[in-house]
Structure 1
């Protein structure tokens, strides 16, 4: 049986190769995802472990590490002496760290980090606590001196002795480069830019006074990190977080994993989609191979082979196919991981070093590739073993088509589950469970459609193909009949395309709705004439707002920041705004109270938060600063949910008292009445151009910038979904090619009675178009349901408008037809080249 299996594999190399491509693509995505995420983890874990001090002391609620907050939160300078006096401390130094420090290139442009932060730090030279390793020059020692990380220095073209300009949270800084250094073991900063100052300058620029962002501690040789941490805790008392190097690295890695979970889930989802779609091709391939080899397998049974041997023979072919596909797919995973690394590099996430191939990646690649292939081949293998040998060897043997009753019942049950889940998502409202219910409902709906697809194939294809006899004569009638002949095969082929177009359509509806919601939000909320912000949402110096206020063309300026604060025991993000100009720049719909409620230690909350926590105007709530200092806030107003400000709003003064970062995210500018629009914009640009990190946008440009971010995400998603559509094309090619082989005698007879090659090619093409359009119609219908469900489920996330992009959906339908035309090129030529007499003589 092993030799028979091997001969079968060699005899059907081309057919199996088409199925192997599906496995290769699916496994490549699985392997590429795991390689990329392992590389991400390695890059940041190495960075965290190599830069963490033995023990670190930070303000309670603060963060240690390269992504720490830029603000006034600090530990007092006197605490450094207390820590140094602890038994077992070899060295202890305070350090300063803040975001919002950007290096300008010689051309006066901000060094492009692609969205990664620009970070300023103080230089530390104590043994065991070195900031980095100098590769040129020396450490900064006084004001007017800086050291640059090697990556930024190389990219900008700076060397020791050059003069540089820096944008900081405070004033613009002119300094001389006195040193170049690497940070961590391999010098990689994942795209961030790092600038080092002397301690006094860093304190001045970041506003921490004579304090520090934290304290780094080196342990003596005879003291463990845990033991030293316990001693430091006893020395510093409450209000501070004390962590060992391992705890620092673990915390930062956990935060990174949480932050990148969306990427991992997204890539894994597309890997699953690719394998799911590919399984239809494998199922079709083995079904047709088994059907064509019915007499051969029956002869083996007659010669003594048992059912189990026949089943194992077919499954062995599947195992070999799975191993080969997984091997090639694993190699392809490196290509996908390389592409993902380059893609995310454009977003500022630069990964240095080699890609990481772990044992888990290899095991999962082979397990997934082989398992999916074997499962897809199981049904055809069982069917082959159950065929009676005598019946199979008859010339007139025709396989009995199994009933679709069970499949119909299963499909109807899944559709019912989908309907219940989608209805539940509507009833869930803003409870937070709606997106999950839509996900369950969408999955059940797609699986239900796959199950019901053979039932729907004949009536739907009959309707779609009704015009073909009139338009294409005999070729059209034969194409329609061929597409209806085997509804299971047609359904399996069309389902691959259906899954891809379902997701493309669903995200198309979601994207169009999101863009319309952005337009509505800007129109209804933004009262200002202009908005100043960075393109990637990074914070910038409040000096921009101060200079804009001085212009005679400007009537009001509203600064908006985002900060993290603990309110009533729960940590949350809040917007911090200028209370005096809030209503000039933004329009909030107040349910109770108003912007006057921000006076003193006032707090505005949206009505959802107020209802959940039982707050009313006038209530006093307990709050805690980022440094752990308790305070009280008074609810001064309740407003309708608004994505522009989030769930809570504080005044700038309150935010400063709570240790929030003194960096703006948005500055809204209201022009004075009677100001010439062109002259006003020119004056604003004069100020803004001096800060290359930010840009000036009018309302329409600001809305376009926000929509561009949505479009960028959708572009990434649709680019990944192209994979499933590509697999669907291969599936149609595979099905048609094998269908041509299966109908070789029939084709010969048609040619013998007068059908020419041109008519034959047209028949195959029209059959492919019918199958593709059938899959596209199902995909568009399911995608509309999924898109509408997602849009409604995400209403509390700001997607308030529902838009169905009719033109785009029509384009998808046309795309489905074109896919059929393209997929039929090779099978049609193959059919037309068959010799008439040889075809008729085929057994």
Structure 2
């Protein structure tokens, strides 16, 4: 905006800014490269995180929000008429049938126009006739039959009967599980013998969920069920969908920290580039002031350059960042998210560039014609030494060069140091991960093999874990067979009873774990509140609570000693309910104890006397839900694993986790994590390299006249070369010093923080190899850049260089 008596010089300023950008090629290229990297990092990282969340949300759009089970036809009709429910689909499931070493699960899925996703029929159609079925191609392959429509299959059921069906539909989910669904017709679901004891489930999607909070969503799910006589035990909400209704605070924190780090380094580099540019162009700014340019106009010239460079760098950066994010998560790509992130990134980066350019612009605007005429290209409060004689060497001249350009060197060293510290933090993490500790999570901290009840079997049983335990495959015969394998040291049993608890308006499935009178001793060592008396707890129906820290994280409250907790569970014949009083609280430190961690590694929130647990179920109930197998010598692990796999493969209702498999998975994850850390560190280092190149080039070229004068009075080419290279080595020295002095405690602090939050898979180790490579690169990179600069200087003769002015 100009006043009536002012000349509008905006066009001239813009043209001058563009001309300066074209002429100052090194400044332009380095500035655009810095901004481009900054924008690419920010937009790519943010879009990748947002893409993962978007992909999850899109997946949740076709999943159920809640389920109501064990309901009748009247309740289904009433629920469907409720305006709070937008969509629904009926599932009816019969009991599991074990055939050889796999399971068959008869199921009927309502074929209505619902948004709730079901298994896709890739060939044929969904069954209509009484004995029509749809099955997966893998199931027919297991039976040794052709994966063709019209194939006849005979299915033996758990009650001893068998029926023959005609395949009218095929699915192809590529599953390698040993559990197969037998999709039956509606007619068979209502009249077939296998569905006489089936469980009817109504899966629903609620209306207007976009306006709900997570807590409000959970309350509505329970309220709808209560309104139509569905007990809380027979209604459940989708945890993943409930979590999606709240902002992911962890993602927000990660994005914020990452963005601040990138913007800080970018700010230092842009500031340094423009500061050096201003110092080297002081004479030019003085000439502009002599011709009548105002301080405001000179500031505007610098800011216009920053704006133009920002626009160009942002466009290139958004293309690179957006492409990388799309390749990383194509299913999470969204034009709307991309547009929003692009605008946000541009605004943030523009503000960063404006701040970075402001100080150099202010310096340029304050230059007077007289100061410009006196300018020598250096900034020093003491140009002359009191010493009458001094030894002139390439090293001493390099030190003088650094001291006369202190601010330039400080900014360069600072940006190099910040990048080095971030590199040090990342490589410390890479070096400090203990792969064995990382692999030995859960019970595998104390053994090499963990055998569990199959999640598929548990999920498909009407009574969950308890239903599978009624015919428990983790029996004495299996334990005996495992113990007889050569190399097996011990087999440890873990007993649990699945139950649903109600406390402080929360309802959730958990497991009750028994303890014996002999185990009181170790429990008392970690008793943080209340009392433990084995016999009194049996008589008074009392329990102990653990993991209160986790309860506070999940529920925002903790279990209190003296309160009562209501439980509901299946006892093997029917569902039972009762209340238990909390007698004491056990500290989570018990899991750090080798004995306590092994004994109670599978506990949830509750412990109770084993005699009290026995009274809760039918006689001779087998509580075992996990087996832990330890071996004598790890060198025997391959042979033991092969024999264990042979045993487990014959039992479809169990699965096995091995330390060997987890170690392989951990290595793959470690490689991915290392790649991410190296990628981020590499990008950050590029910022520092850009600043290093800018400093060495700008400082050296601004002193061409000085170097030519020195050459004219006898300085050799080799001496000039060493002078410039010593300046680079001095930069490397300060960079290495800052990296070691600050980066080492930063890396140590990161590892200690991870340990403090319970992640003991990190053991601090100094990254000697990575640091050695970093030191070598830090020294040789300035030497290489200096060599290139010297080659540029040598393209002109001494006489030609003397004729040029700085």
Q: For the superposition of Structure 1 and Structure 2, which TM-score range results when normalised by the shorter chain?
A: 0.5 to 0.7
Q: State how far apart, in whole Å, the 2-side matches of 1:649 and 1:233 are.
A: 26
CA-to-aligned-CA distance 1:316-347 (integer Å, 9 cap, x gap): 11111111111111111123213432xxxxxx
Quick one: which of 87, 91, 95 aligns to 2:91? 95
- CA distance 1:231–1:162, change in 2 (3 Å): same
**5 Å matches for 1:416-495?**
474-495=393-414
What is the Cα deviation at residue 314 of structure 1? 0.8
Q: Using the alignment, how far apart are the partners of 1:299 and 1:633 within structure 2?
A: 88
**Mapped contact 1:58–1:240 kept (Cα < 8 A):** no
Aligned match of 2:371: 391
Residues 127 and 183, structure 2, Cα contact 8 Å, conserved in 1: yes
Partner secondary structure for residue 658 of structure 2:
strand
CA contact (8 A) 1:729 1:820 kept: no
CA contact (8 A) 1:148 1:194 kept: yes
Aligned to 2:700: 740
Residue 125 (structure 1) aligned with residue 125 (structure 2) = no
Counterpart among 235, 251, 256 of residue 228 in structure 2: 235
Question: What SS does the aligned partner of 1:304 have?
Answer: coil
Residues 772/361 of structure 1: CA separation in 2 closer, same or farther (3 Å cut): same
Residues 765 and 820 in structure 1, CA contact (< 8 A), matched pair in contact too? yes
Kept after mapping to 2: 8 A contact 1:29/1:336: no
* Structure 1 residue ranges without an equivalent (≥5): 60-73, 101-107, 110-118, 184-188, 220-225, 342-349, 403-468
8 A contact 2:532–2:583 mirrored in 1: no
Match of 1:285 in 2: 273
* Aligned mates of 2:344, 2:308 — CA distance in 1: 17
Q: Contact (CA 8 Å) 2:80, 2:88: kept in 1 or not?
A: no
1:83 aligns with 2:78: yes
TM-score by length of structure 2 reads 0.68
Select 1:18's aligned residue among 5, 30, 46.
30
**CA deviation digits over 1:770-824, x for unaligned, max 9?**
3134223212322222233334444443245752325246434444334444554
Structure 1 residue 17: Cα displacement: 0.9
Shift of 1:138: 1.7
CA distance in 1 between partners of 2:615 and 2:292 (Å): 87
The more displaced of 85-94 and 828-837 is 85-94
| 1:551 equivalent in alignment to 2:547 | no
Q: Give the match for residue 428 of structure 1.
A: none
2:650 maps to 1:638: no
Partner of 2:10: none
Q: Determine the C-alpha separation between the residues in 2 that align with 1:568 and 1:591.
A: 24
The whole-number CA distance in structure 1 between the counterparts of 2:26 and 2:644 is 66
Per the alignment, do residues 783 and 776 of structure 1 end up closer, same or farther by CA in structure 2, a change over 3 Å counting?
Answer: same
Max Rg structure: 2
Structure-2 residue corresponding to 1:58: 67
1:136 aligns with 2:123: yes
Please give the per-residue CA displacement for 1:662-696, whole angstroms capped at 9, x wherever unaligned: 999975214699x9877644421323566999665
Deviation of 1:6 after TM superposition, in Å, equals 2.0
Aligned 8 A contact 1:149 1:180 in 2: yes
| Count of residue correspondences | 691
Show the counterpart of 1:752.
712
Contact 1:93 1:215 in 2 (8 A): yes
Task: Please list, as runs of the form range in 1=range in 2, the aligned pairs for 1:262-411 lying within 5 A after superposition.
Answer: 262-263=250-251, 265-267=253-255, 269-341=257-329, 351=331, 358-394=338-374, 399=379
1:146-193 CA distances to partner (integer Å, 9 max, x unpaired)? Answer: 56699xx9xxxx976599x9xxxx9xxx9998646799xxxxx9xxx9
Cα distance change, pair 381–211 in 1 and its aligned pair in 2 (3 A): same
Give distance in 1, aligned partners of 2:550 and 2:248. 27
- State the match for 1:622 in structure 2: 565
In structure 2, the CA distance between the partners of 1:754 and 1:45, relative to structure 1 (3 Å rule), is: same
User: How much does 1:583 deviate?
Assistant: 11
| Contact kept in structure 2, 1:27 and 1:271, CA below 8 Å | no
Q: What's the counterpart of residue 448 of structure 1?
A: none
Query: Structure 1, residues 470-515: CA drift from partner, whole Å, max 9, x if none?
Result: 9xx9444433443343232222112223223323323444565552
| Conservation of the 8 A alpha-carbon contact between 2:226 and 2:232 | no
Distance of 2:338 and 2:674 partners within structure 1: 30
Cα distance in 2 between the residues matched to 1:771 and 1:749: 25
Unaligned residue ranges in structure 2 (runs of 5+): 1-12, 159-163, 208-216, 383-389, 460-464, 485-489, 570-574
- TM-score scaled to structure 1, two decimals? 0.65
1:57 to 1:703, Cα distance in 2 relative to 1, 3 A: closer
Change (3 A) 1:671 1:284: closer
The Cα of 1:727 is off from its aligned counterpart by 1.5
2:743 corresponding residue in structure 1: 783
The verdict on how the C-alpha distance between 1:569 and 1:374 changes in structure 2, with shifts beyond 3 A counting, is: same
Give the secondary structure class of the aligned counterpart of 2:126: coil
Whether contact under 8 Å (2:57, 2:244) holds in the other structure is no
1:38 to 1:663, Cα distance in 2 relative to 1, 3 A: farther
CA RMSD of aligned residues (A): 6.0
Q: Conserved in 1, the CA contact under 8 Å of 2:126 and 2:185?
A: no
8 Å Cα contact 2:131/2:166 also seen in 1 = no
Query: Is the CA contact 1:148–1:180 (under 8 Å) kept in the aligned structure 2?
Result: yes
Q: Deviations over 1:619-660 (max 9, x none)?
A: 5642566999774365577352427649845479989999xx
Deviation at 1:539, TM superposition (A): 10
Aligned partners of 1:373 and 1:309: how far apart in 2?
18
Question: Using a 3 Å threshold, how does the CA distance of structure 1 residues 726 and 380 change in structure 2: closer, same or farther?
Answer: same
